[in-house]
Structure 1
Amino acid sequence: MIQLRYFVLLAMLTLPGWGISQELPPIQNFTPADYSSESQNWAISQSTDKIIYVANNNGLLEFDGARWTLYPSPNESIIRAVKVVGNRIYTGNYMDFGYWEKDRFGILRYTSLAAQMNDALVEDEEFWGILNLGEFMVFQSHSRIYSYNLGNNSVSIINSDSFLPKIFKVGQTVYFQKMNHGLFRIENGQEVLVYDQEPLKSDEVISIVPDDRELLILTRNSGFYKSQANALEKWNVAIDSLLNDISLYSGLQMQEGSFALGTISHGLILMDKDGQLIRHIDQISGLQNNTVLSLYEDEDANVWLGLDVGISYINFGSPFQVYPDSRGLVGSVYASAVQDDYLYLGTNQGLFYKNGNQSDFQFVEGTHGQVWSLDVVDGTLFCGHHSGTYVISEGKAQKISNIQGTWKVGDLSGKPNFALQGNYDGLYVLEKTDGNWQLRNKVEGFDNSARYFEIFGDQIFVNHEYKGVFKVKVDEDFSHSTHVRIDTVIRGSNSGLIKYKGKLLYAFKNGIFSYEKQQDKFVKDTVLSQLYSPSEYTSGKMVVDPKNGYLWTFSNASIGYVSESSLASTLSISKVPLTENIRNGIIGYESATAIEKEGVYLFGARSGYFTLDVKNFQENPIDINIGTVQIGGKNRVTTEKNLWDPNITGDFESEENSLQISYYVPHYNKYLKPQYQYQLRDIYPTWSNWSSEASVLFENLPPGNYTFNVRAKIGEKVSESMESFTFKIARPWYLSNLMWMVYIVGAILGSILIHSLYRRYYNRRQQKLIEENKREMELAKAQNEKEIIKLKNKQLQEEFRSKSNELAASTMSIIKKNELLAKVKEQLAANADDKDTIKPIIHVIDKSLNRNDDWELFKEAFNNADRKFLKKLKKAHANLSPNDIRLCAYLRLNLSSKEIAPMFNISPRSVEIKRYRLRKKMNLEHDDNLVDYILKL
């Protein structure tokens, strides 16, 4: 049975008879992660400055359009009710009710009213409802109703022995329901029974609104009831069978009279004031949860939903409507068209259609695959498809060409019953014969892809985004190309080509260019190029609307359109500030189609499409506010110590030179988000770039006076006024006036001291230089004396060397002379016949050999060469004879025994004997070398 009822409910929500529109207003969802709190949200209210407050499981949520702020409940319990009255935000939670007010820093501070009462609360009492009646605030729990007089703090209490679900305000009267008893109102502080009929006794009342002079009552499970002449009557509406099969939790009558009904498990149901179903919004169509705990309509007609998981708002007054295609029915929309009351969508999955009697799109059989275009030529709708070309009529497709890849179909100027189509591999001609279209021929001689083409003059212009613009001339029969040229000066990615108002336009990154026939080139159109800047460029796709004569363009920042001015035949530029990431378009394949409703256009997206009511689009005034001024910037806990009142001039110490300033625009529109721009005069005089960031951090500001200005824009509309905050950062203590006087006096005394120190320093330095010069002169003198001594030593060495040479020469001379005399003597003695005759000669030779003159000469030369040796020798060995000394002198010259023998006129053997005796006199050991010993003396 349950499954059957659910099936019936599902059928009612989807069948065409219910008239459900598939397009939905924009829905903005906030998850618990977005607002950093618990999931359930029980009530919503708005202040006069448009700030939203939400009663949440974890406390009170505040949303200013830029950021969420959580204020935990005073006793850490769930806040069930919230109501903004003036500057106070009244809340009710477990065992407490009271109000919040902003301090001078913009931070909410809580005051408990329950704590000021003389009467004690009921055990485990929770407050679920709050109403305002002038000087009275009414707080409702499930067992009591408290009327708190704000003037004298007095309280009147209505007790109930049965369950009190909710309270309602109708005019200045408070209504409430007692389960099992009926509906009551409060008169003069007392309860008065109004209705005790079913279902008001057993079925919970969800909402009560005035209906003329009577009441319209909505119940959870039984639908609507009207009070008629103090009697209760069922209000039968078209969706009664639906309401009987679902359970409601919240209800709201909106400003324009329709009803929003929040269900427990089926999302939101919208009903007009006559009881007809407008639309059903649930998780499939965009909500993040199907349990709607609370409903609230803000000042801009946005409806806020407090959900079991998260928070949402719906822009019911928005000029935008969305077909999100959450079920993936149609896919990415590349083209759209309206023909004979049929709406067609060309997508990556095929062609779909819907007429006025259908609630959702139907697939056109035989069109599976990529659709590139939908073009109306001579009253016929052509579908350009990856697999060929189709003629579309009343939701059916007839394939007329199997040539793969049809980009576009356009008319042939001056040739009725003919059409020109661009394909992957060139241009083709279509012909209508006997009311039927068929492929006629290919234009031979041109084989390039022809996604964009236009006939202008006597040429066919074909845009190729990578090669440039082809200019093709064909014969009269459109069978052959007679001349093909290519203009490579202008070309670019995603570029577009189209005819508009008698002009041939080419759009790419550098702007929109118009073809000048006389110059045979494209020239930049300064008016149309205002549609986008090079930095905003994403696509050169242009769409001409034949219905209203609009030219549509698409940039990263907006959708632009051109129309004729109503005052003159000039072109008017308009922009709709829908950014590329918001509209989720297919770059390079954008589409715009005027549908049946006047001023409403359909735009394709990557998933489904959205519509825009151009005539209903307006940019409301922008109210920019400064939120908080925080000293110290990011990553600091927000406390009273580091906050400053933004309404008074800031006076900060030198160490408080880092400030974070937040600002906001209380604007709630999913597709039109505010952007901010700021300047800090006296240091950053130029305005910053536009940004969605709603705060700015200034760090390490130098001392001085500053004025911070901030302004906002939504789309192209900039706020007429700007918010300012003036502040001063003091100089540090070491730069104060007193310290400057100290610095000046210190500088004077310091200069005197420095002068004195420098003078003493230079005197010492001068004295030191004098001493150093003296020392250097003494060193130089010593060096000179050293050089002199060195030169003298060198001279002595030279003299010594000379003397030694003389000694050696004289010694050798004596040796040679004695050897010669000895040989002469031997020759005479051996060869003389007359011994007596040669005896005197031999005597003379012997006398010459034995003469002491040679020794004296040698001695004198030896002393000159080695003066100290003989003295050392005599001192060491006083017992030596003159011949011993003479022998030592010869040995000092390192002469051999053979060389010494002629000096003594003896044999070498005798010299050895002399050497032996000399060793004895010198007491040398057997191993001691006599010559070495003498050389070492």
Structure 2
Amino acid sequence: MKLGDFRIYLFLVFILATSHLSFAQYSPYFQNFSLSEYNAGNQNWDVSKAENGKLYVANNNGLLEYDGLKWTFKELPNKTTIRSVLAHGDVIYTGSYEEFGFWKRNSKGELLYHSLSESIKSEISLSEEFWQILPYKNAIVFRSFSNIYIFENGSINKIKPVSTVISCDLVDGMLYVSTLRNGIFRLEGDSLFQVISNEELSDVKVISISKIDNNLFITTALKGCFIYGPDHKLIPWDSEINTLIKQHQLNSFSKLNTGNMVFGTIKNGVYGTDRNGEIIFQVNKENGLANNTVLSQCVDSTNKLWLGLDNGVASIDLNSHHSFYNDISGRLGAVYDVINYKNTIYVGSNTGLFYLDNNGDLQFIEGSQGQVWDLRIINGQLFCGHNNGTYVVENKKITLISEFTGGWVIKKVPEQNNIYIQGTYAGLVKFENESGKWTVNHLGKTTIPVRFLVFEDKYTAWAAHAYDGLYKIRFNDSYDSIISNVSYANKGLLSNYNVRVYNIKNNICFKTNEGWQKYEPLLDSIVPYQFLNENLGKDAYIISEDNTSQIAVKSKKDLINFISLNDQKVELSLTSNFFENRLIVGFENISKINDSIYALSLNDGFMLIDAKNYSENLILQKPMIERIEIDKTLMDLTTSSPIEFPFNKSISISISSPKSDNHFFEYAISNIDPSQWYRLEKEKLELTNLGDGEYTILFRASNNFGGKSEIASQEITVLPPWYKNNIGFALYGFLSILILIIFYTLHKRKINKEQKLLQLKFEHEQKELIKEKTLENERKIVELKNEALKNEVKLKSKQLANTAMALVKKNETLMELKKELVEHKSGFDNYYSYKKLLKNIDNSIGHQDEWEVFEYNFNQVHEEFFNQLKKQFPKLTHKDLKICAYIKMNLSTKEIAPLLNISIRGVETHRYRLKRKLNLDNDISLGNYLQNFK
């Protein structure tokens, strides 16, 4: 929509409201950008829009770039103020203090400065500043107050005017140069030729030269506008705007393709006019512009007007489907409702009730001071729900018809033409029209403050407490009393606080802090309503009339969507930049003015919205890839090959879409799931932990209406980790060979070691075998020796036995002989001889030498037998030892007796005594004991 179309649009908007409304009271949608947003200086001397949609601003501190979503700031090398800027193709030209040149992006997307004036430094005047840049044929013109420099084909040509240069303008391809004292010149070749020398332009600051029909159209700072025709006459322009710009000092001018014009002033903001100078709109500080001093302006290809202000930047959407009534003075205050009644716009605010007169001026209705909550047409009359009660408005005057304070909401009773129920601070109030007169009665059973009210049927209503609670109310047949009032706090309601109640397509619906619910009559309970949670959002609530085919819904992020209840399609979407920090939180309201025009209440005015065919005019530009960083290292954007980076690095891709309207970005990764698009919260995609491989990243600009731009793509390759690339494979090969070598070496060492161990084992076994053989031989020798000893012992034992037996025989013989001698005693003549013979026999029987020989041999056989006996039993007598030896030799008592020269009984007596000396029990055999004694 062109600038001229905006006036027609406003006319169509308000044709039903008033046929005499002054359109200048309304402004198109505009947006301020403060210093805190773009983070640079306050003054913005020049603005220029590039073909790709980016805005460039000559700022006190440097160069500003805006891509529609974010600002970027660049400084000159000498950090001086930039006075002029021109975006021409992909080059940005700037002029500053004793310096001019251009900015251009390198292969990595960085915007870098290149000086042109450095090559002609000696020709630039002292303190010369360059205030204007414009294209001329195949050249670029840089203008200061002193000179004109033309840059063409790499060379710079300097032209010196006769006096101070005020402006340069292109008209029909010719360059006009306005001077302060010598009129207006035209450049022909390298020379300036005077075309206008009228005295009226002497010492006049010419702002611009353009063309209307076949005439030159000249604008000046303080003397207004002039027409210069073929008759060479300079005629003041007869128009509405001419007087105003003389008063407010014109400083910038733009002429649109439609013939409409934009005038930027020093003292009173900006005016938009038609080709005849009739004012279409005005935007100044009074209706919201950040600053009244317009230093520069330009209109881009999308018909958006950009303003460089003395303190900030602003944009005005000349294609806007919306207009604003702004009251920065505070007289109107915060608006709660707007209505069109009998071709007059009425506005209810926290300060009272107002209307707009035929000139568009705001007029206060006397007696309406205080909070206005609700404006509604009932039975052809305008009702005003007010803090003080309820008024009827007629002929721009009010009449109090109800003293019940706080008329929040009023609803018609179904199937009853003249009965209405109102929710107030003190409960429900009945309004009934009888013969053209209203009677009002309080339904005294309820005194709770009721802010939201809907009817389920003609006798049942639902009322939401202003803060805490929900009630189902039943009326009697005449509506003069309440039959029942039931709280539904404990019947499934997720939260009692901030409950809103609506009738949506004959469903009683509730919005609570926990999301959407609805009433289920069969259960007489409140249940979650998934349909609205999914289609409206758990945090969203309705801010327009509910029981219609289209509703306005506000989300938590201050996004307002107009949604069709027939197909849940978003028919219009308003992002927060339209009304940032201007909504009345909790009391947001959209009222219907006519079939396509709605009014959104703001805290300093209201916004008019054209909801018809809004989405058809939205532009979505294919995203541009601005820069790619791998771990903060910029990559080359000019290469056609995929961007390669190591697998353990992160990648960020910055994008922009400067020409897009109310858009957001989405991305998808084609190699993973090209149908799955993800919303970007900012203009940069950051990816980490991607697996190695090739990827194609897809980008698009989208809007809330389902619109999608053409897709932009970027191919990237995540290099495999070292253990998966050629180096890794080579290393694997090397390691494999090394492992084989090591394995072979270790295996060989192992074999050698095993062989050595086997050899050692063999040698050891041989030694052991030899040792065993030796031991075996030694054992056999020992055995042989032992055998020999045994044999010797046997022999000695035999000899000992033989000796003992010989002694026994000898002693027996001697004893027999003695016996015989005793028996033949009388046969001896000589008694002495007899005695001597007996004595010799006795001595022979007990001969000591024979015993010593016996004892020696006995010890040889039985290894120190006597010594051990004497050691253990020192009380044994010599005779005891003899008996022990004989018993050990297994001699019987009969055999022992002769050896001791005693009787057998004497031996037995001695054995008994010996047993006692050896401390043996009665049941122990003396023979066995001595046989085993060691």
For the criterion TM > 0.5, the same-fold answer is yes
1:692 aligns with 2:681: yes
Per the alignment, in what secondary structure is the counterpart of residue 662 of structure 1?
strand
1:497 aligns with 2:501: yes
The structural deviation recorded for 1:221 is 0.3
Matched residue, 2:393: 392
Matched residue, 1:120: 123
The structural deviation recorded for 1:142 is 1.8
The structural deviation recorded for 1:209 is 1.7
Distance change in 2, residues 1:721/1:743 (3 Å): farther
Matched residue, 2:599: 602
Q: Deviations over 1:824-881 (max 9, x none)?
A: xxxxxxxxxxxxxxxxxxxxxxxxxxxxxxxxxxxxxxx99xxxxxxxxxxxxxxxxx
Structure 1 length-normalised TM? 0.70
Per the alignment, in what secondary structure is the counterpart of residue 245 of structure 2?
helix
Output the amino acid matched with 1:553: V
Q: Does the 8 Å contact 2:619/2:659 carry over to 1? A: no
Matched residue, 1:715: 704
The structural deviation recorded for 1:628 is 0.3
Alpha-carbon distance between aligned partners in 2 of 1:754 and 1:366, rounded to the nearest angstrom:
108
Output the amino acid matched with 1:595: I
Per the alignment, in what secondary structure is the counterpart of residue 738 of structure 2?
helix
Alpha-carbon distance between aligned partners in 1 of 2:372 and 2:756, rounded to the nearest angstrom:
99
Q: Does the 8 Å contact 1:262/1:292 carry over to 2? A: yes
Output the amino acid matched with 1:398: T
Distance change in 2, residues 1:353/1:756 (3 Å): farther
Alpha-carbon distance between aligned partners in 2 of 1:398 and 1:481, rounded to the nearest angstrom:
28
Alpha-carbon distance between aligned partners in 1 of 2:754 and 2:445, rounded to the nearest angstrom:
99
Matched residue, 2:624: 625
Matched residue, 2:867: none
Q: Deviations over 1:657-681 (max 9, x none)?
A: 2323211121476xx3x32333456
Matched residue, 2:719: 730
Distance change in 2, residues 1:647/1:76 (3 Å): same
1:742 aligns with 2:724: no
The structural deviation recorded for 1:237 is 1.5
Distance change in 2, residues 1:515/1:622 (3 Å): farther
Distance change in 2, residues 1:692/1:582 (3 Å): farther
Alpha-carbon distance between aligned partners in 1 of 2:570 and 2:660, rounded to the nearest angstrom:
26
**Sequence identity percentage:** 27
Matched residue, 2:464: 464
Matched residue, 2:800: none
Output the amino acid matched with 1:329: R
Q: Which moved more, 1:499-508 or 1:305-314?
A: 499-508
Matched residue, 1:7: none
Q: Does the 8 Å contact 2:404/2:426 carry over to 1? A: no
Matched residue, 2:311: 309
Q: Does the 8 Å contact 2:370/2:387 carry over to 1? A: yes
The structural deviation recorded for 1:579 is 4.5
Q: Does the 8 Å contact 2:20/2:358 carry over to 1? A: no
The structural deviation recorded for 1:646 is 6.3
Q: How does 1:897-936 map to 2 (within 5 A)?
A: none
Alpha-carbon distance between aligned partners in 2 of 1:41 and 1:605, rounded to the nearest angstrom:
29
Q: Deviations over 1:119-165 (max 9, x none)?
A: 93444433222222332222222222233333xx4555432231001
Bigger Rg, structure 1 or 2: 2
Output the amino acid matched with 2:475: V
Structure 2 length-normalised TM? 0.70
Alpha-carbon distance between aligned partners in 2 of 1:747 and 1:686, rounded to the nearest angstrom:
48
The structural deviation recorded for 1:577 is 3.9
Q: Does the 8 Å contact 1:377/1:419 carry over to 2? A: no
Matched residue, 1:578: 575
Q: Which of the residues 138, 143, 155 maps onto 2:141? A: 138
Distance change in 2, residues 1:127/1:401 (3 Å): same
Q: How does 1:248-327 map to 2 (within 5 A)?
A: 248-327=250-329
1:147 aligns with 2:150: yes
Matched residue, 1:101: 104
Q: How does 1:466-545 map to 2 (within 5 A)?
A: 470-485=471-486, 487=488, 488-490=491-493, 492=495, 493-499=497-503, 506-507=510-511, 531-534=535-538, 537-544=539-546
Matched residue, 1:243: 245
Alpha-carbon distance between aligned partners in 1 of 2:60 and 2:152, rounded to the nearest angstrom:
28
Q: Which of the residues 649, 655, 665 maps onto 1:657? A: 649
Alpha-carbon distance between aligned partners in 2 of 1:468 and 1:528, rounded to the nearest angstrom:
21
Specify every segment of 5 or more residues in structure 2 that has no aligned partner in the other structure, as ranges.
1-18, 761-870, 873-934
Q: Deviations over 1:737-775 (max 9, x none)?
A: 3222223223334445666789999999999xxxxxxxx
Q: Deviations over 1:314-361 (max 9, x none)?
A: 22322232334322223322222221222222223332322333422x
Matched residue, 1:820: none
Distance change in 2, residues 1:506/1:203 (3 Å): same
Matched residue, 1:831: none
Distance change in 2, residues 1:698/1:572 (3 Å): closer
Distance change in 2, residues 1:99/1:124 (3 Å): same
Per the alignment, in what secondary structure is the counterpart of residue 200 of structure 2?
coil
Alpha-carbon distance between aligned partners in 1 of 2:673 and 2:753, rounded to the nearest angstrom:
49
The structural deviation recorded for 1:180 is 1.3
Distance change in 2, residues 1:399/1:753 (3 Å): farther
Distance change in 2, residues 1:182/1:739 (3 Å): same
Q: How does 1:13-412 map to 2 (within 5 A)?
A: 19=22, 21-115=24-118, 120-150=123-153, 153=154, 156-229=157-230, 230-360=232-362, 362-412=363-413
Alpha-carbon distance between aligned partners in 2 of 1:757 and 1:403, rounded to the nearest angstrom:
108
Alpha-carbon distance between aligned partners in 2 of 1:332 and 1:264, rounded to the nearest angstrom:
30
Q: Does the 8 Å contact 1:508/1:539 carry over to 2? A: no
Distance change in 2, residues 1:29/1:199 (3 Å): same
Alpha-carbon distance between aligned partners in 1 of 2:301 and 2:53, rounded to the nearest angstrom:
7
Q: Which of the residues 605, 608, 611 maps onto 1:611? A: 608
Q: Deviations over 1:55-105 (max 9, x none)?
A: 233333222223333333354443322222222222233334333332221
Aligned length: 734
Matched residue, 1:919: none
Matched residue, 1:869: none
Alpha-carbon distance between aligned partners in 2 of 1:755 and 1:688, rounded to the nearest angstrom:
59
Distance change in 2, residues 1:74/1:601 (3 Å): same
Alpha-carbon distance between aligned partners in 1 of 2:755 and 2:326, rounded to the nearest angstrom:
94
Alpha-carbon distance between aligned partners in 2 of 1:303 and 1:624, rounded to the nearest angstrom:
23
Q: Does the 8 Å contact 2:647/2:720 carry over to 1? A: no
Output the amino acid matched with 1:290: N
Alpha-carbon distance between aligned partners in 2 of 1:95 and 1:219, rounded to the nearest angstrom:
27
Q: Does the 8 Å contact 2:414/2:457 carry over to 1? A: no
Alpha-carbon distance between aligned partners in 2 of 1:130 and 1:621, rounded to the nearest angstrom:
30
Matched residue, 1:592: 590
Per the alignment, in what secondary structure is the counterpart of residue 243 of structure 2?
helix
Output the amino acid matched with 1:612: I
Alpha-carbon distance between aligned partners in 1 of 2:197 and 2:184, rounded to the nearest angstrom:
6
Alpha-carbon distance between aligned partners in 2 of 1:764 and 1:402, rounded to the nearest angstrom:
119
Matched residue, 1:645: 637
Q: Does the 8 Å contact 1:375/1:381 carry over to 2? A: yes
- Alpha-carbon RMSD across the aligned residues, in angstroms, is 3.9
The structural deviation recorded for 1:726 is 1.8
Distance change in 2, residues 1:319/1:762 (3 Å): farther
Specify every segment of 5 or more residues in structure 1 that has no aligned partner in the other structure, as ranges.
1-15, 634-640, 768-862, 865-937
Alpha-carbon distance between aligned partners in 1 of 2:211 and 2:733, rounded to the nearest angstrom:
78
Per the alignment, in what secondary structure is the counterpart of residue 615 of structure 1?
coil
